[in-house]
Amino acid sequence: MYDGSGYHGWQVQENAVTVQEKIQDAIEKILSVRENIVGCSRTDSGVHANMFCFNMRTDKEIDTSKIVRSLNAVLPEDISVISCEEADFNFHARYDCTSKEYKYLIWNDKSRNPFLTGRALHYPGEIDIDLLNEEAKSFLGTHDFSSFCAADSSVEDKTRTVKNIGFEKNGKLIEFKIEADGFLYNMVRIIVGTLLDVNSGKIERGKIEEIINSKDRKSAGKTAAACGLYLNIVNYNK
């Protein structure tokens, strides 16, 4: 798991610090060789992960019961390895994933919560949870999510299947969860931003299906801030 506030996403970049880079640095310190690691997702800059899986192939002998402690001893405090196990040689953390669940946190109060700065969206206006849950139902099932993908995405197939979606309120903290077989670039953040625009009246109620069918990014709402987004659960068959 990791707090993504100080990183430019997961994937290694030439001129920016990323989570993958820090983990590869830690592995190199432990194994004395810089191994390539394959992540289950490409989280954006500022996005967090409660669960994140990666795999690597190595010729080095590894004691899976000890390497977790060894890695955590050299990793930054905002990244933590939870477990390690031997996998099938052909296992691929990204392509073998059957579904993922993302979570988005919203602090719904007139005043900011300093303990959630960088970890939740501050939304001072009233939020109608019942309305948003009703509107969110339109995303369930298999759709072309072109309207909910960053305009500069190069992905050709934008069809994804949403299995579960909904909002829950716990005091002033609102939690949005969505599970799908895959996600497009900024997809969750655009869905959250669009639903919040419905909540505020910027987008008319009952228009989500029409927006989906338009396959036009301009018809959807804003892209919600990265700070509230967490990769929450990664599912595999085995």
pLDDT in tens, 207-221: 999 999 999 999 999
In contact, 146 and 215? CB cutoff 8 Å: yes
Instruction: For residue 60, give the CATH number of its domain.
Output: 3.30.70.580
Residues designated as active site: 44
151 pLDDT above the threshold of 90: no
- What local confidence, expressed as pLDDT, does residue 153 receive? 77
Give the whole-angstrom CA distance, residue 199 versus residue 139.
16
CB of 148 within 8 A of CB of 136?
no
Task: Determine which helix (DSSP H) or strand (DSSP E) holds 154, and give its type and residue range.
Answer: none
Torsion of CA 233, 31, 72, 225, to 10 degrees: -50
Q: What are the φ/ψ torsions at residue 160 (nearest 5 degrees)? A: -140, 160
Residue range of the domain that includes 15: 4-74
pLDDT at 156 > cutoff 90 = no
Q: Answer yes or no: is pLDDT of 62 > 90.
A: no
Nearest CA to 18 out of 4, 39, 33 is that of 4
Same domain, 108 and 224: yes
Q: Looking at the 3D structure of the chain, how many domains does it have?
A: 2
State whether 131 and 203 are in the same domain.
Answer: yes
51 falls within a domain? yes
- Residue closest to 222 by CA, chosen among 198, 213, 210: 198
Q: Indicate whether 152 and 200 sit together in one domain.
A: yes
**Mean pLDDT value across the chain:** 94
